[in-house]
Every structure is written in C-alpha cells, then in structure tokens.
Amino acid sequence: MRALTWHGKHDVRIDTVPDPKIVNPRDAILKITSTAICGSDLHLYDHTIPTMKAGDVLGHEFMGEVVDVGPGNTKLKVGQRVVVPFVIACGQCFFCKQQQFAACDNSNPAETADMSELLYGYPMTGAFGYSHLTGGYAGGQAEYVRVPYSDVGPIVIPDGIEDDKVLFLSDILPTGWMAAENCDIKPTDTVAVWGCGPVGLFSVQSAFALGAHRVIAIDHYPRRLDLAKSMGAEVINFEEVDVREALVEMTGGIGPDACIDAVGMESHGFTADSVMDKVKAAVKLVTDQTHGLRQAIIACRKGGKLSIPGVYGGVTDKFPIGALMEKGLSIKSGQTHVQKYMPKLLDLIMQGRLDTTFLISHRMSLEEGPTGYKMFNDQKNEVTKVVLKPDGMTRH
C-alpha cells in the first residue's frame, strides 16, 4: 500500500510499504477514507519529539471502512465506517475503567514502555503514528491501518454523514472539548485561549458550548484570529499588544478566570526570552519552549484555572512556579481521553450544535501529503487544516 512515512527533519515521503495484517485477536484493519495532518504532527516534522525512526508511518487523525476484523472483536463488522481515537486503549485496565483512556496501562508494548517510564516515572499509553515513546504503532496517513483493541476505540458513524463532519472526533475536537472541560467553566467566566490553531479554535467553540460568558483568543495570524472572532471570541494579536496588559484591561483588572494553553512546545515569539530558548534548542539542550504557558500563568487571575492541552515532551526552565503557587492556580493537563468524549461529541455534531468543517482549508490526495506538511508548516495563516484522501488507490 501507499503510506506517508517519516525520514528525518522536514523529510516526509510517500512510500510503498507492506499492507497491515491482523496480528492480535482484537485487531481490525481499516481502509482509510480520510486522514488529517495534526498540529502535533508538525512536532514530528520538526523532529522535536525523540525516538522517531526512518520509515515510520505517520498519522493519528483518521477514519475509514472496516475491511477485516480479528476473531476477538465481536463489536465491529466489515463494511462499517468508523472514526478511530488517536490514543490506543485496552478498555480493561484500572485507568480505562475510570475513563482515563489516555493513561491506558496496556497498549504501549512492553519493550517501548521503558522509555516513557524513565522519562515520566510511569509508562505512557500507546498511540498511532507518534514515535516509539508511544509504541511505534503505524499511523493512518496511509491506504490501510491496523487498529489494535478495535473493540474499544473506533466509533461507528451512521450512514449519510460525510467524513469532513466527523473526522476530527479522532483527536482535535475532543482535545478542544477536554481543554474547556478542564477549566470547570462557570457562567460568569472569561476564558482566555492561547493559540488559534485547530485545538485552540475548538477550545473556543467548546468553552462557549460549556457556558463561558466570554472567550478571548490570542494569536498573531490574522486568518486564525478571524476564525476565532467568527465563533464569538474577542481576539488579541500578541504581535501588536502586550497580552497581559490587554487581558487585565479587558477583564476590569481581575484577569481571566481560566486560561488554556493550546500552543504547546512550538510557541514562537510570545515573550522576549524566546531567543534564549532557540539558542538552547540549537545546541541540543533539551528544553521545551513554553512562552505561551508562562504568559498564561502570569496573566491568569488569582485562584484561576489553567488548562494545558498543548503538547510538551521534556523539561523547561524559567518556569514561573512562584506565580503559580502564590496565586493559587489549579492546573489540569494531559493527552485527551478521546474514547470518553466521542459519543457525546458525535451527538452534538448530529444535532448540528458543533461544526468542524469550517476549519478545513485544504483537501489533497495522500500522494500530495508531503506538500501538505510543508504548507501546514510554512503557511500557518492560510493553512488551518489539511485533509488527505487516499481515494482511487489500490491495495497492493
């Protein structure tokens, strides 16, 4: 089959690789109908996530048609259309049983789990197409994909709903939702969102859906700020104004009740010390860039809430621990428990209460995937989301 594979920094290619097969009883094989490039795929593209290997098949936002099901899966049937969560979860461990699917104890293979146990104290869960820290599972930017524990993750999509409306259930829609839910929003709350990429925009949408009084979105790309504004947010362009000053004034001196860092480790230019971090990164000191997060901690009101859906992987310095403690902020973070949110969010989509299609700026064939990566990376104003379709290709 054809698949988008990683070969190094800013080097992704379309290769012919072996078709996936059923390996374990609960596996399924999907024929991919739509797959998207995620903002977090750009971390891999930039090679800021370790443990990538040349030839790894990328992609963790995908959906498709079930073409094969292992004997241990009695739920899925050949021919069904499903969206697959990016986190792989067994459904039967202590964590899955309390719906902490992104903390599943079993899906990361025993050999690869050692790395994250060393880094984070405990082994992390498996995920599709996202380095060997999360298991080295082949991703879905391909014609076919193997889905482990396929009786737990995939959600069946009713006939008649087009791919574009439900594809983002795989990651960014639930990620934006959980980011807002983690803010424990009260009806009078003002929520500030750093970053108007896909997760930031879905956080804006979710914060309103969960009852926020006001949402203030922060970015510097005009098109992305326009999208946030079209959803009802007030916007701040951080290149033009001092963000903390603006937030203080816009909230009558109190500050935002909740702050969402939807930027993660790639944040550029949010504060003056960004140059120092770039130097450290250049000499391979492993330091995550955290400008947006620092700014959020400083700008958040006393006793406020901080939600971090943005991806970080390592360590950071100049972290404003004093502001965090003295102001009494509470923090929630983490990879998204996608399986927990999918049914509710599919309902909201079916009812027409959540729309995800506004985000898609570019549709391409899988073969054009490398161009899609380059455009998404280089043209962040114009390119808000790239969806790839492997249609018209044959299984080899």
Partner 1 sequence: MSDSIARTAHDDAPLSAAKNPDITSLGAEPGLAPHSGDVLVGRSVTIDRPRQELYAFWRDFQNLPRFMHNVKSVSVLDARRSHWVIEAPAGKTVEWDSSVTEDQPGRLVAWESQQEASVRNSGRVEFLDSPDGRGTVVRVTLVYDPPGGTVGQLIAKVFQKEPKVQARQDLRRFKQLMETGEVSTAKPPDAAPRA
- The residue ranges that bind partner 1 (CB under 8 A) are 1, 3, 5, 15-21, 23-26, 55-57, 72, 90-94, 97, 105-114, 117, 123, 126, 135-138, 142, 146, 148-149
Whether the Cβ atoms of residue 290 and residue 319 lie closer than 8 Å to each other = yes
Task: Label the pairing between strands 81-84 and 214-219.
Answer: unpaired
Residue 165: CB minimum distance to partner 1, A = 29
SS3 33: strand
Residue 132: CB minimum distance to partner 1, A = 8
Whether the Cβ atoms of residue 85 and residue 101 lie closer than 8 Å to each other = yes
Q: What's the start-to-end Cα distance of the chain, in Å?
A: 5
Residue 388: CB minimum distance to partner 1, A = 17
Residue 332: CB minimum distance to partner 1, A = 23
Residue 333: CB minimum distance to partner 1, A = 24
State which residue, 48 or 108, has the beta carbon closest to partner 1: 108
State which residue, 24 or 230, has the beta carbon closest to partner 1: 24
Burial of 316 (0-12, 13-18, 19+ CB in 10 A): middle
Q: What separation in angstroms does the CA of 336 have from each of 147, 171, 180, 200, 318?
A: 18, 8, 12, 14, 27
State which residue, 6 or 221, has the beta carbon closest to partner 1: 6
Q: What separation in angstroms does the CA of 10 have from each of 60, 155, 283, 322, 366?
A: 18, 33, 19, 38, 17
State which residue, 49 or 299, has the beta carbon closest to partner 1: 49
State which residue, 29 or 82, has the beta carbon closest to partner 1: 29
What is the C-alpha separation between 46 and 240, in angstroms, rounded? 27
Residue 100: CB minimum distance to partner 1, A = 13
State which residue, 118 or 283, has the beta carbon closest to partner 1: 118
Which H or E element spans position 332?
Answer: strand 330-333
Whether the Cβ atoms of residue 12 and residue 129 lie closer than 8 Å to each other = no
What is the C-alpha separation between 260 and 155, in angstroms, rounded? 28
State which residue, 126 or 264, has the beta carbon closest to partner 1: 126
No. of helices (H) and no. of strands (E), the chain: 13, 18
Residue 370: CB minimum distance to partner 1, A = 14
State which residue, 133 or 329, has the beta carbon closest to partner 1: 133
Burial of 249 (0-12, 13-18, 19+ CB in 10 A): exposed
Burial of 328 (0-12, 13-18, 19+ CB in 10 A): exposed
Residue 30: CB minimum distance to partner 1, A = 13
State which residue, 139 or 304, has the beta carbon closest to partner 1: 139
Residue 97: CB minimum distance to partner 1, A = 7
